[in-house]
Amino acid sequence: MPQDFEIIGEITEIGEIEEGETEIPDTNRFAICIRNTDYKVSLTPLTVYPVIDDPRAEETGMIRIIDESREDYLHAIERFVLLTLSSRDAHALVHAMKRHRDASD
């Protein structure tokens, strides 16, 4: 397992919509991947991922995102540029992500 991946415990308040898929949360925090070394299948450079709040993970330099596999995982914060959007812009982005996910199913 790569060194920047760590399982630190169970997360709550994440809606499971199907086995193996995590619902895109209403959030105003997003991460843009800038480095996908060792994660070429699950992370795509310059792709925007929703961030799931996980203060405990962030204290250890990790961030919880919903990746290309549609599951939430912890990754090193250094792999991303983090964005906090206004409520209006975040709402529009989350809805666009949900429409894209629904269209690809």
Q: What is the pTM of this model?
A: 0.72
Q: What are 37-95's pLDDT values in tens digits? A: 998 888 999 999 999 999 999 999 999 998 877 889 999 999 999 999 988 898 888 88
Q: Position of tokens 């790569």? A: 2
Domains, the chain, in order of start with CATH, read 21-104 (2.30.30)
Strands (E), the chain: 16-18, 21-22, 29-33, 48-52, 62-66, 72-76, 80-84
Residues 28-40: b if buried by 16+ CB within 10 A, e if exposed: bbbbebeebeebe
